[in-house]
Structure 1
């Protein structure tokens, strides 16, 4: 189960089916992102695709010598624009692929518009999601909650995206869902209805053990998206933000023009692929090794004395240039992460966060938080983060001092709108909203594990936390996940341990959870797990999700707080 490979195979097939000759790839905003996540432009150019166009862009030239491969989401707007395109065709032939199921009526609309008989192919290729890592996908939906229910548009899009993942991976699963979440139940029902309605599409070769689709709700673990991160991919997203593999570095002091936006793709960057799950300390050493290797190669390249040397240099130049770009990109990224860690006292902040959520020493945690709230190096967003975590962790503690900490935030100049997030996160993911015992306060086994962990110490004080997802998947793979808490939809039940598991988190997942799935895949031979969510959160995007769920009108954005 590899979502990147699944999308790549669809795109390759589209290009192959159009045959030899020069081609244009016509996409919409969303399919442009879907394609760019798995293919570099240079790779597609090698397949005779010389032009990339958006269907919603005006003023495109007529080029009848080109074949047109259309890859579009099957929305009403796209069908209308495509019908208009066919009436006044700009290209010689059209090969049309929709990223999901298209209605017969829409196909009829397109057929009626094809007066010039330029359409050679209309097919459904189920690449209706963003593939981020081989085992991680997102639908890029921000704000799926409307109070404690679905936003109708988000429910429709999520159902489409999730069924497309199942079709692209060729899985017809048994469905389990988080019983404490009405939204999880509703999504499970919608997915099952789609599978029933389009039963012919889901007729795959039966396996001995059916795959499992497990639907969870972010509200059950509001802690994970609020923690600072220390592995490369997660850390870049937390401190700088990753948007469809792109990182905006334009605000970095002294940044050169060519590095103002960089692409982080494990498919096209070997260093990133090897280091995305490494912790920050290891990356520093690996960057130094990369630099040393580059310097050796650049010195050897300098000795151009004969025709043979020149020929060797020219042959190696593309690889040399690529390595130069890789080195400068990662040195810049790691340098900026280091600068932010030092400037904003992130080691102290993160250690306090980890102790807060992994241990139970209320008075020590409270004292550390109070100290950090008065530290001028700590950013406003990190001060808010600490108080929100404290409010969740000690929600029912008899001596909790949430009101005192919120008042300190007020004195630190944090606005009413942002202070309101402390109570908002309790409404969103507090004890009443959760189905799980997130902090193990009533579970003696969880308490003992945490106590022993505290005695032994951990390898890294900054990465003690394990997401709730880890224990849920661990129990599922061992056949021990409680059916009362995570029931099956319908009457069927799995007798054996599952082998193929697709986990979907309503309200968004995180790169920390993606790391956890990566580790579980490595540690459990014979089990394959893919993780997806409506979005991939860092703290900033998560609290925007909390805002829209608790109050339909968002309480103000948080961009200004990372100063």
Structure 2
């Protein structure tokens, strides 16, 4: 159940069917992201794709009549109209058209009528309608999900349905669907998916029923997107942002160093270190540097023809290591600068204290001190108060209004501080059906107590996302039938070989690391299910707060300091 491999196989098949010879790849905005995460540009060129174009730039594309055109498009009305126009006035010799999802027969007929010059050779549905960020992680690339009052916007709802249907068909699965009972959107999605699967029964013929789809809402865990991260991939995204495997470093001296590619497919160091913590990364980069220096010294000693021959043979590998060293030293160096400049180690320690086991007055004093600290950025000050608001929402000595006043004194705008109220309306106790902090039930309090006695290996990574509990319960067939009902008549407590978890409102790379770790356990325990995470976006704190900002003013706020 590997969405990255499934997407790569589809793309390779598209190009193969077009036959030998030079080809142009015609995409839309979304399929461009899909392909860029599946293959590098050099890999596509090895498949004889020599030109990459967007269908929405038709007016500026020059005709190249000797090229074949491989079209990979989403079957949207906009794309269909653009494709009709393209076929009426073809710029290329032949067209091989592949849609990323189900397309109605009426639309295919409309394209056939537009193909007056008979340039179309193939039309197929290939179900790659999501961005394959990793083998276990798919995204839609849309950061803003909700509209008033915290319901999914209609376009994102439709897009999510399409992506899930495509994932089922690409993986050949006909899942049992369970959903979070308190989420209207989750229930709507479950019902809509059930209807589509029944309607497209012929497409799902032969698909295995060994998979559970679990649909939940981000509001059940608003904590995870607000925390600073300390594993490599999650930390890069938190501090700099990762967009379809690309990282932008604002302070770099030139464009080549400013725009970097971090891809586990093409970078062995990144693949081996992306889930390790910051301290381990430093040690591993030092080892990588030592290896590079050793090989560099060997290459300096060219005293014979044989030495020169060996150098030429090893040069590609040497150049690759050189590029890897340069890139990761630059990334880690920039992260180290940000950590020091923003006092993030201290801030993160306080964050973990708040959400894990901190006492109210202790947490309140620590937050007050950090709000006033000159190195604390506005976003970090805001996130600390947000965490306090969630953790001590019903505390008898709740002092949220005092903290908000401190934020205002720092110059943080009224609109930004209003997001704290929005957050409580979005993910406060009235919206959550879970014991997020482990302090509402005897079981939760016991687990926290035992964990406290055992201690933690790393104070900065002791937080455990709610997704971890969901995966564990689903894998053991112990999901609550009341809280997570089924959309069909299957036994809800059944155990499955695969679990697809769709998170409405965005996932995080911390949760991706949880899913990856669980999948790695299957090597020792094949009885465990495979995990696939999907969502509309992969958030860091900034994008999550931006989503709250987008909602601020559209919801009816609860009084600050009271239950939301």
TM score, norm. by length of structure 1? 0.95
Separation (CA, whole Å) in 1 of partners of 2:186 and 2:552? 18
Contact (CA 8 Å) 2:418, 2:552: kept in 1 or not?
Answer: no
Contact (CA 8 Å) 1:143, 1:549: kept in 2 or not?
Answer: no
Measured after TM superposition, the shift of residue 257 of structure 1 is 3.5
Q: Which residue of 1 aligns with 2:399?
A: 401
Is structure 2 residue 203 aligned with structure 1 residue 198? Answer: no
Is structure 2 residue 539 aligned with structure 1 residue 537? Answer: yes
Q: Which residue of 2 aligns with 1:335?
A: 333
Q: Which residue of 1 aligns with 2:213?
A: 213
Separation (CA, whole Å) in 2 of partners of 1:84 and 1:507? 36
Contact (CA 8 Å) 2:152, 2:185: kept in 1 or not?
Answer: yes
Q: Which residue of 2 aligns with 1:165?
A: 167
Any idea what the Cα deviations from partners look like across 1:143-189, whole Å, max 9, x if unmatched? 22112322111111111111111111111100000111111111111
Contact (CA 8 Å) 1:428, 1:549: kept in 2 or not?
Answer: no
Q: Which residue of 1 aligns with 2:561?
A: none
Separation (CA, whole Å) in 2 of partners of 1:9 and 1:494? 33
Contact (CA 8 Å) 2:285, 2:329: kept in 1 or not?
Answer: yes
Q: Which residue of 2 aligns with 1:560?
A: none
Contact (CA 8 Å) 2:299, 2:311: kept in 1 or not?
Answer: yes
Separation (CA, whole Å) in 1 of partners of 2:315 and 2:114? 50
Separation (CA, whole Å) in 2 of partners of 1:474 and 1:155? 27
Q: Which residue of 1 aligns with 2:505?
A: 507
Contact (CA 8 Å) 1:3, 1:131: kept in 2 or not?
Answer: yes
Contact (CA 8 Å) 1:428, 1:550: kept in 2 or not?
Answer: no
Query: How do 1:255-404 and structure 2 match up within 5 A?
Result: 255-404=253-402
- Equivalent residue of 2:37, what SS? helix
| Higher mean C-alpha deviation, range 270-279 or range 356-365 | 356-365
Q: Which residue of 2 aligns with 1:59?
A: 60
Contact (CA 8 Å) 1:180, 1:435: kept in 2 or not?
Answer: yes
| Higher mean C-alpha deviation, range 78-87 or range 4-13 | 78-87
Contact (CA 8 Å) 1:221, 1:438: kept in 2 or not?
Answer: yes
Moved over 6 A (4+): none
Measured after TM superposition, the shift of residue 125 of structure 1 is 0.3
Measured after TM superposition, the shift of residue 481 of structure 1 is 0.9
Separation (CA, whole Å) in 2 of partners of 1:366 and 1:142? 31
Q: Which residue of 2 aligns with 1:230?
A: 230
Q: Which residue of 1 aligns with 2:436?
A: 438
- Equivalent residue of 1:502, what SS? strand
- Equivalent residue of 2:534, what SS? strand
- Equivalent residue of 1:56, what SS? helix
Q: Which residue of 1 aligns with 2:418?
A: 420
Any idea what the Cα deviations from partners look like across 1:182-235, whole Å, max 9, x if unmatched? 11111111111221121111112445xx21000010001100100000000000
- Equivalent residue of 1:199, what SS? coil
TM score, norm. by length of structure 2? 0.95
Q: Which residue of 2 aligns with 1:29?
A: 29
Any gaps of 5 or more consecutive residues in structure 1? 556-563
- Equivalent residue of 2:203, what SS? helix
Query: How do 1:27-176 and structure 2 match up within 5 A?
Result: 27-57=27-57, 58-146=59-147, 147-176=149-178
Any idea what the Cα deviations from partners look like across 1:350-392, whole Å, max 9, x if unmatched? 0110011011411111111111111101111100000000000
Measured after TM superposition, the shift of residue 449 of structure 1 is 1.1
Structure 1 vs Structure 2 CA RMSD:
1.5
Separation (CA, whole Å) in 2 of partners of 1:305 and 1:49? 42
Separation (CA, whole Å) in 1 of partners of 2:552 and 2:378? 22
Separation (CA, whole Å) in 2 of partners of 1:320 and 1:27? 35
Query: How do 1:516-555 and structure 2 match up within 5 A?
Result: 516-524=514-522, 525=525, 526=527, 527-552=529-554
Measured after TM superposition, the shift of residue 313 of structure 1 is 2.4
Contact (CA 8 Å) 1:99, 1:127: kept in 2 or not?
Answer: yes
Q: Which residue of 2 aligns with 1:559?
A: none
- Equivalent residue of 1:63, what SS? coil
Any gaps of 5 or more consecutive residues in structure 2? 558-564
Contact (CA 8 Å) 1:67, 1:94: kept in 2 or not?
Answer: yes
Any idea what the Cα deviations from partners look like across 1:78-123, whole Å, max 9, x if unmatched? 1111111111111111110000111112111110111111111000
Name the CA shift for 1:189/1:550 in 2 (closer, same or farther; >3 Å).
farther
- Equivalent residue of 2:93, what SS? strand
Separation (CA, whole Å) in 2 of partners of 1:438 and 1:123? 46
Separation (CA, whole Å) in 2 of partners of 1:333 and 1:473? 32
- Equivalent residue of 2:495, what SS? coil
Separation (CA, whole Å) in 2 of partners of 1:286 and 1:514? 22
Separation (CA, whole Å) in 2 of partners of 1:348 and 1:143? 30
Measured after TM superposition, the shift of residue 550 of structure 1 is 4.6
